[in-house]
């Protein structure tokens, strides 16, 4: 039986936060334990260059993200865990795909459109101001990431669905021109997956600057939780859990029984200060063992590097022969042996 390939990438520009953990990392690690799938999880470091031109930050983020996945128990004997830049065939494939992708398709990409809409709103006459070609071509790099390993399923956030559609479109065009080489990937959106609220009540996201880092040291975690915005209801007044950031975060870390107990306490008018300490204790308890492993890993970067090197070997065992086939398909080969 050929195993199903699930693949996802994490751009190395930030520090993993509670929202990343609940929405993406935790389900991906759970999926990696299924013996019927081969997960390909990678650090999308070339993607990082699109929006981050601070080398130290890209380096630091790669280290933190890799350490996070390992600390949380990613099973690297089943999963292929690698760094995008260690697989140069991906870059080569990107060019082949660039030459079949239509420019009009890229014009319609959300990330590019959002950037040019921002220019328009600020009254800029050059709508492409500040937009680099990396941002414009970013869906093609993402298609190369996916098609290089003929992934069947790609778990992503809703904002990435369009990119998977584009990867399918590009794969279809390539197959039409050069023969069937690529599997058409499907996006997998976890509808049950929690979207966490951040410190200010909006979705927890790097772009809103409202995140709580996953492995924040205990004291800092407590401080951040204390800063989460709540309304001005007094202790003893009934409170609505559904519109409460504290509750939204608690829910993502608790069992059904625990959740209904807390719901009851909201009805009884739990004080915000009390709820904040309940939330802190709960998350802290949940995270402490992994945080200890994380800190140990940061002290042993050579161990992380070794895991990534092993992952790269496994990835290249696929990408090198596949690239040979693709080069031949497009007519790039030696003239004679």
Residues lying near ligand TRP in the complex (CB under 6 A): 7-9, 11, 44, 47, 142, 145-146, 154, 156, 160
Long-range contact list for 212-216, CB < 8 A, 24+ apart? 212/17, 212/18, 213/15, 213/16, 213/17, 213/18, 214/15, 214/16, 214/17, 214/18, 214/20, 214/21, 214/68, 214/287, 215/16, 215/68, 215/71, 215/287, 215/290, 215/291, 215/294, 215/295
C-beta of 70 vs 141, nearer to ligand TRP: 141
CB closer to ligand TRP, 190 vs 258: 190
Least separation in angstroms between residue 215's CB and ligand TRP is: 20
The CB-of-120 to ligand TRP minimum distance in angstroms stands at 23
For ligand TRP, the closer of residues 57 and 282 by Cβ is: 57
Q: Put the strands of the sheet holding 37-44 in their side by side order.
A: 80-83, 37-44, 4-11, 153-155, 186-188
Distance in Å, CB of 166 to ligand TRP, minimum: 11
For ligand TRP, the closer CB: 94 or 225: 94
The distance of closest approach from Cβ of residue 185 to ligand TRP in the complex, given in angstroms and rounded to an integer, is 8
Residue number, nearest CB to ligand TRP: 9
Parallel, antiparallel, or unpaired for β 153-155 and 186-188? parallel
Taking the complex as a whole, the smallest distance from the CB of residue 138 to ligand TRP amounts, in Å, to: 7
Distance CA 225, CA 278 (A): 10
Contact 210, 200 (CB under 8 A): yes
Q: Which residue number, 187 or 278, has a Cβ lying nearer to ligand TRP?
A: 187
């Amino acid at each position: 039986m050929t195993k199903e390939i699930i693949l996802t990438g994490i751009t190395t520009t930030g520090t993993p936060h509670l929202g990343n953990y609940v929405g993406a990392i935790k389900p991906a690690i759970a999926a990696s334990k299924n013996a019927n799938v081969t997960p390909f999880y990678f650090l999308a470091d070339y993607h990082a260059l699109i929006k981050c031109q601070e080398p130290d930050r890209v380096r630091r983020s790669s280290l933190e993200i890799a350490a996070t996945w390992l600390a949380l128990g990613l099973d690297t004997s089943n999963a292929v865990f690698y760094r995008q830049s260690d697989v140069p065939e991906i870059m080569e494939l990107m060019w082949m795909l660039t030459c079949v992708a239509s420019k009009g398709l890229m014009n319609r990409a959300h990330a590019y459109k959002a950037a040019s809409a921002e220019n328009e709103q600020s009254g800029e006459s050059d709508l492409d101001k500040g937009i680099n070609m990396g941002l414009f071509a970013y869906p093609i790099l993402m298609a190369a990431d996916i098609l290089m390993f003929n992934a069947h399923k790609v778990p992503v956030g809703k904002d990435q669905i369009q990119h998977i559609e584009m990867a399918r479109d590009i794969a279809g065009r390539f197959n039409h021109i050069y023969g069937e080489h690529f599997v058409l990937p499907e996006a997998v959106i976890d509808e049950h997956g929690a979207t966490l609220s951040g410190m200010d009540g909006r979705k927890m996201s790097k772009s809103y600057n409202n995140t709580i880092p996953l492995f924040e040291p205990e004291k800092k975690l407590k401080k951040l939780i204390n800063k989460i915005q709540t309304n001005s209801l007094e202790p003893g007044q009934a409170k609505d859990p559904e519109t409460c950031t504290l509750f939204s975060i608690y829910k993502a870390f608790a069992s059904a029984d625990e959740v209904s107990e807390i719901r009851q306490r909201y009805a009884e008018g739990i004080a915000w200060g009390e709820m904040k300490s309940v939330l802190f204790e709960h998350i802290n308890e949940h995270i402490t063992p992994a945080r200890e492993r994380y800190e140990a890993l940061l002290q042993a970067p050579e161990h992380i590097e070794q895991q990534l090197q092993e992952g790269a070997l496994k990835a290249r065992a696929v990408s090198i022969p596949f690239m040979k086939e693709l080069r031949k398909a497009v007519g790039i080969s030696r003239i004679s042996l």
